[in-house]
Structure 1
């Protein structure tokens, strides 16, 4: 237990994973919550006149021991969970929710912050201090400080209930993912599949002491199968399994949780005086209002749908000509898209993968970061890990000063949720004359090395790595005073700019030359392949755009209006998808029950931000292209005004400081091939 409630006696104060026992967590949480309460009470009991330092700043630095513990526990709950951690999470979540409400609904504490806020015009505050004061005051108001006692009590109950339901929602998805296996024993059923995918499936079967090959719903197994398997019936089987995750008549069905989460969020927003959950959320986003989000989505839909319609017709005609297929189904999309891409560009992932060995791609990301921002990455082996596959790096600057600790966790495991994400074990902040440097991690699910091959990435996985690495750079290069304004602590529709802009370097000759080398011969990727990558960048972009828009419209459907009358999750989804749907509907499938981004992650009323941030990143990268993709002046501006600033000022102010103007949507449309330059 003592391991958490003191300074870690480790290299760079890193998390001592090997010393942590599962039974340590609950008592550690009890102690850390008690300590956080004491810290809050000390602010309340301070007899001095409330000022910025003894009220607002003190609040920003309170509960840091609990924050550190929570980051370690919940990061492991996502990347290395088990039944015991799941149980602890269910127990801890309502306690943390209760503490948050104890703070947010503490009238005496709010009065102190309000007193400082009332005379903010007379205070000589920095821009970051002004942001912290505004955020602190709004945080109380947006979390019920102005409510009467009866409504405050209802708010507490809603938040506690939501905390538990959202955790259960995520656990159900993971359980359903782990429960499914496509077990193949006939070698003919492997036709079309890449050699590496077959070998990985064979390895999994052997590890489970079974004959043949096993494919799962983990992305490195699922995506290649639906993209390459010639056996249409099996593509259908695994596709249907993916589509019915947490939407089956069993204990893991999330349909009820979807309705409960949407209704509770709506009730919470109404309690606080907002028309809907989306109105509440978007007040603290660049978009500001649901109407603006809908206008943004509808504008993109109008511009992308003609191209998407042409693409779907082309794909349908191609499948008809190739295999006599009269109707494209969802399990055909990736398969025939890949075939068409090969026919048009003579390019496929199997041709590219030998040039994208994971270790080389990672070094490539490091090299790009060095050329742009002067960073050095050195792998070290004296930092504790939570799993043997995790790699650890010291990140230093040109003066050999520590910038960050970087963790990388790349392969699927039973206790690890699907997808890819960046997270942090410790934020950057400044206190008592010290600049505490961040501990940042990226977690992915790439194809594992096999007995005969290293981990070779698809081009999509290459861009995924660069995407998450962009988030990591946002965390690593943070240079703010307060932990709650540091790194990725920014508006959700701004947070994807640093990640999405990094993907652009994957398409540039100058960048690919740094790391795209054949894993056997070390030969550089041929320039003709680079040209094909570039030419194919906007392939099927209309349909890809509509897919993203469909998710954003579904999100706004659940959250921008009163959801309490919705009884049928499936029927509601179909109505939301009506304007974006090309493939015939599959009755036994539904997306919402496994839509973790909006029901278990932080993207409720915010899924639009992926496209919003694409506008920002296309416009920002156009600036790099004007000057040169490694131009030191533009890179320094991006580092100084975007990456280092976190949430210290409004993102549009930061963006205009970098770019000199507001972003133009045309840059995205031109890059996507949906608008002529």
Structure 2
């Protein structure tokens, strides 16, 4: 057990004891406080004596103080099991967003900020960056427009866009659809998935309820033998949130109008201006170049998969459908690469894998993670109740410290929320991790197991958490993952490479049958059901080298199709945010465009090939990224992959656990957050400007 001082940090964690009434009241309180700070600045500072210290000083201090509390108030809508609390959280976020819009359009403060900027005082770099960004943000929020109808319309649009975003995300959070299936219809789906599905009663006796949550959806698309069932699930999933269809359309039309009011030719031009890419032309050139390089590879991969489909289904119609892909991709990996994902998952029980991941972060970055449980939770909670410092009993809490070499100081708290139906984001000094493909809950005879892609996802998401934890900035505006969108994924994408490194895969692995007698018995029973020796001794604890080698050989199998799927998202994003005219966006058939582009880019057939037309699905209505901040920015997942691959190849590939390199990465990249220009951060770390060579080499496209 860790020493007591590591289990009881000097800084108390936040509590999660809100009620529906308190959430809204707290939002109103922090709004009142912040408005008071703004009024105080305006009332006490004249244009002639406006400086960074007397204008941005109190405003940034208030922002630093309110950032965490404001985040938590909006956080409940994504994680609470109480409908009324989720609704109140959405209301609180709406109130806070309206206030942020009001603040961003206060001309009296804008004039003081402009005067402070004009004074050109000597400031340390992060403060200079804050002052310049604050000034530019006022202009981008409409204060460059004359005070009159145009500015009023712009403000009206901003408020409506905020409402649309909250409603869209609420619909996604609350989505609880699914389909009743018989077990026969789900033939092939793994037993551990089927056993976790809700059982039907009455007219649904003998059936199970398959939801559209990732732990149900992905295994079904990978393993269900009946192609009609896979098609039914895929089409239903694309139509699970159709109430968002008009919200999405209204959002892209309003964004275009707002951008044109500010003098930009499109929303894309407006959004990309302050990112690393700077212009839509740069983005379109990058996406177009990548598409041209990948298209032939995608076609070749489809041909190979189609041959596999024909060999297994001689009566097939010669088409390769969207609902075929996960199924035949898996079969190909099993057939040609001896890759058994279910077997690999046995070596990655959730809790031991997390321990292994945290150990890697400890060694690389000079950290120490101590889980807080039992009496220590209660001791940290101001209420004396340990459950009050988490939002759900399943959530794990860690105190995070610097190791002796880094000074032994307290860093912050890390939260892990790892089971279905809860999603999370992060804000300093706490950080929350929720892997995108949540894992099935454990049973007495089997722990939660991670497939390799889930191991990669979890390591990626933990990377975001570490970014927030170790960041050192003066202003919360720039802390941790608060970077430009086309860089924010790069640090976590870079860390994914550790999940493809033999030594680290071995270190992360522990066969679950070696963890307890009950697990061994459960494994032996599973062996018996599979027709194998039910009395076999437990396998070796660590994953065999042969399995690792087979896995690593598959890293880029069907990679062209994977990246073409990402390109579909990125090109659709640019298409709806860069119309030729406002009339063009008003007339755009959004769902048909989404489906048409997917067919053209991925080269896989959808229901349109069977006569369903281009409006068969409404995937844009499930695309939270484009409403939640990645608008005209989804390309960032691909462009930041360029940066992440360059960093790994240049600094870590030959020695991934090099502590000196790990510390330098912590200091020069993670600690900086968005406090300096991200291209400067990259260039300082690499010792040169970033290059695309490693990215294209990794994809086999050099």
Matching residue of 2:621: 593
Tell me, yes or no, if structure 1 residue 154 matches structure 2 residue 156.
Answer: no
Matching residue of 2:279: 289
Give 3-state SS (helix, strand or coil) of 1:55's partner: helix
Aligned equivalents of 2:208, 2:543: Cα separation in 1: 32
The structural deviation recorded for 1:32 is 1.3
Matching residue of 2:260: 270
Are 1:422 and 1:471, in contact at CA under 8 Å, matched by a contact in 2? no
Give 3-state SS (helix, strand or coil) of 2:370's partner: strand
Are 1:478 and 1:646, in contact at CA under 8 Å, matched by a contact in 2? yes
Matching residue of 2:517: none
Give 3-state SS (helix, strand or coil) of 1:278's partner: helix
Tell me, yes or no, if structure 1 residue 423 matches structure 2 residue 416.
Answer: no
Matching residue of 2:525: none
Tell me, yes or no, if structure 1 residue 240 matches structure 2 residue 235.
Answer: yes
Aligned equivalents of 2:67, 2:440: Cα separation in 1: 33
Matching residue of 1:340: 332
Matching residue of 2:685: 658
Give 3-state SS (helix, strand or coil) of 1:637's partner: helix
Matching residue of 2:675: 648
Matching of residues 610-649 of structure 1 within 5 Å: 610-649=637-676
1:148-188 Cα deviation digits (max 9, x unpaired): 2222221221121111112221222344x40223332xx43
Are 1:199 and 1:450, in contact at CA under 8 Å, matched by a contact in 2? no
The structural deviation recorded for 1:372 is 0.6
Matching of residues 300-311 of structure 1 within 5 Å: 300-311=290-301
Tell me, yes or no, if structure 1 residue 227 matches structure 2 residue 235.
Answer: no
Give 3-state SS (helix, strand or coil) of 1:580's partner: helix
Aligned equivalents of 2:239, 2:465: Cα separation in 1: 33
Tell me, yes or no, if structure 1 residue 217 matches structure 2 residue 216.
Answer: no
Are 2:42 and 2:109, in contact at CA under 8 Å, matched by a contact in 1? yes
Tell me, yes or no, if structure 1 residue 405 matches structure 2 residue 413.
Answer: yes
Matching residue of 2:185: 189
Moved more, 211-220 or 439-448: 211-220
Matching of residues 192-203 of structure 1 within 5 Å: 192-201=188-197
Aligned equivalents of 1:60, 1:625: Cα separation in 2: 37
Are 1:619 and 1:664, in contact at CA under 8 Å, matched by a contact in 2? yes
Matching residue of 1:6: none
Matching residue of 1:569: 590
The structural deviation recorded for 1:573 is 2.1
Tell me, yes or no, if structure 1 residue 318 matches structure 2 residue 308.
Answer: yes
Tell me, yes or no, if structure 1 residue 487 matches structure 2 residue 480.
Answer: yes
Aligned equivalents of 2:86, 2:415: Cα separation in 1: 23
Tell me, yes or no, if structure 1 residue 546 matches structure 2 residue 564.
Answer: yes
Structure 1 unmatched ranges of 5 or more: 1-8, 248-252, 428-437
1:162-215 Cα deviation digits (max 9, x unpaired): 11112221222344x40223332xx433432222212222x6669x99654332
Matching residue of 2:548: 530
The structural deviation recorded for 1:57 is 2.6
The structural deviation recorded for 1:624 is 3.2
Moved more, 577-586 or 229-238: 577-586
Aligned equivalents of 2:83, 2:335: Cα separation in 1: 47
Tell me, yes or no, if structure 1 residue 560 matches structure 2 residue 578.
Answer: yes
Give 3-state SS (helix, strand or coil) of 1:565's partner: helix
Are 1:373 and 1:639, in contact at CA under 8 Å, matched by a contact in 2? yes
Give 3-state SS (helix, strand or coil) of 1:254's partner: helix
Give 3-state SS (helix, strand or coil) of 1:378's partner: strand
The structural deviation recorded for 1:30 is 1.4
The structural deviation recorded for 1:273 is 1.7
Matching residue of 2:114: 114
Matching residue of 2:172: 173
Aligned equivalents of 1:327, 1:664: Cα separation in 2: 38
Aligned equivalents of 1:52, 1:174: Cα separation in 2: 41
TM-score (normalised: structure 1): 0.90
The structural deviation recorded for 1:479 is 0.8
Matching residue of 2:445: 452
The structural deviation recorded for 1:627 is 4.4
Aligned equivalents of 1:663, 1:204: Cα separation in 2: 53
The structural deviation recorded for 1:64 is 4.5
Aligned equivalents of 2:224, 2:598: Cα separation in 1: 28
The structural deviation recorded for 1:89 is 4.5
1:371-397 Cα deviation digits (max 9, x unpaired): 110111110021511000100000111
Are 1:620 and 1:659, in contact at CA under 8 Å, matched by a contact in 2? yes
Matching residue of 2:385: none
Tell me, yes or no, if structure 1 residue 394 matches structure 2 residue 399.
Answer: yes
Matching residue of 2:96: 96
Matching residue of 1:132: 130
Give 3-state SS (helix, strand or coil) of 1:405's partner: strand
Q: CA 1:205 to 1:57, structure 2 compared with 1: closer, same or farther past 3 Å?
A: farther
Moved more, 212-221 or 639-648: 212-221
Matching residue of 1:434: none
1:116-171 Cα deviation digits (max 9, x unpaired): 21132xx2222212211111111111111222222222122112111111222122
Matching residue of 2:140: 142
Give 3-state SS (helix, strand or coil) of 2:400's partner: strand
Aligned equivalents of 1:210, 1:126: Cα separation in 2: 69
Structure 2 unmatched ranges of 5 or more: 1-7, 381-388, 515-539
TM-score (normalised: structure 2): 0.87
Are 1:278 and 1:556, in contact at CA under 8 Å, matched by a contact in 2? yes
Matching of residues 361-400 of structure 1 within 5 Å: 361-381=353-373, 382=377, 384-399=389-404, 400=408
Aligned equivalents of 1:349, 1:204: Cα separation in 2: 26
Give 3-state SS (helix, strand or coil) of 1:138's partner: helix
Aligned equivalents of 1:90, 1:464: Cα separation in 2: 28
Aligned equivalents of 1:59, 1:301: Cα separation in 2: 45
Q: CA 1:626 to 1:259, structure 2 compared with 1: closer, same or farther past 3 Å?
A: closer
Matching residue of 1:61: 61
Are 1:547 and 1:580, in contact at CA under 8 Å, matched by a contact in 2? yes
Aligned equivalents of 1:364, 1:205: Cα separation in 2: 39
Aligned equivalents of 1:153, 1:619: Cα separation in 2: 46
Aligned equivalents of 2:208, 2:445: Cα separation in 1: 17
1:599-652 Cα deviation digits (max 9, x unpaired): 2x1100000000011101111110234541111222122111100001111011
Are 2:267 and 2:632, in contact at CA under 8 Å, matched by a contact in 1? yes
The structural deviation recorded for 1:10 is 11
Matching residue of 2:386: none
Are 2:595 and 2:617, in contact at CA under 8 Å, matched by a contact in 1? no
Aligned equivalents of 2:91, 2:19: Cα separation in 1: 17
